[in-house]
Structure 1
Amino acid sequence: MSKTSPGEFFRQVRNEAGKVVWPTRKETITTAIMVLIMTVLLAVFFLGIDSALGAIVKFLIGLIG
């Protein structure tokens, strides 16, 4: 494995960074909205699951006590 000089390393980094394709503003906004929608849906789902399990546990504790 050959050693790369710091100057060559930074040239390679700059060259690779130039190949990066950044998302457009519209793509970024669309993706952010989709993430927010999925977050809300999952929050509601887990709220329902948590409430159902809590009710089951309260019922079972009520049978004991």
Structure 2
Amino acid sequence: MPRTNPGQFVRQVRQEIGKVTWPSRKETVISTVMVFIMASLAAVFFLLVDWILAEGVQFIFGLGG
């Protein structure tokens, strides 16, 4: 693979950055809100699963009550 000089590298990087399609502000906000919603749903789901499993273990082994 041939080596490129620093000037050529910078030109190639600028050329590649020009090909990137950046999201709009609206798309970014919507994506951020979706991430927070999905993270919250996952947290509630795992909270419930953990609670159910803990109750099951306590029932089986007779611990804590």
Tell me which interval the TM-score lies in, with the shorter structure as reference length: 0.7 to 0.9
Q: Which runs of 5 or more residues in structure 2 are unaligned?
A: none
Structure 1 SS opposite 2:2: coil
Shift of 1:46: 0.5
TM value normalised by structure 2: 0.88
CA RMSD of aligned residues (A): 1.3
Question: After TM superposition, what 4+ stretches of structure 1 lie above 2 angstroms from structure 2?
Answer: none
Shift of 1:15: 1.0
- Give, in whole Å, the separation in 1 of the partners of 2:60 and 2:18: 62
Asked if residue 15 in structure 1 is aligned to residue 15 in structure 2, the reply is: yes
Shift of 1:6: 1.0
Q: Which amino acid aligns with 1:39?
A: A
Q: Which runs of 5 or more residues in structure 1 are unaligned?
A: none
Bigger relative CO (Cα 8 Å, ≥ 6 apart) = 2
- Give, in whole Å, the separation in 1 of the partners of 2:36 and 2:2: 47
Shift of 1:45: 0.6
- Give, in whole Å, the separation in 2 of the partners of 1:3 and 1:42: 47
Q: Which amino acid aligns with 1:47?
A: L
Q: Which amino acid aligns with 1:19?
A: K
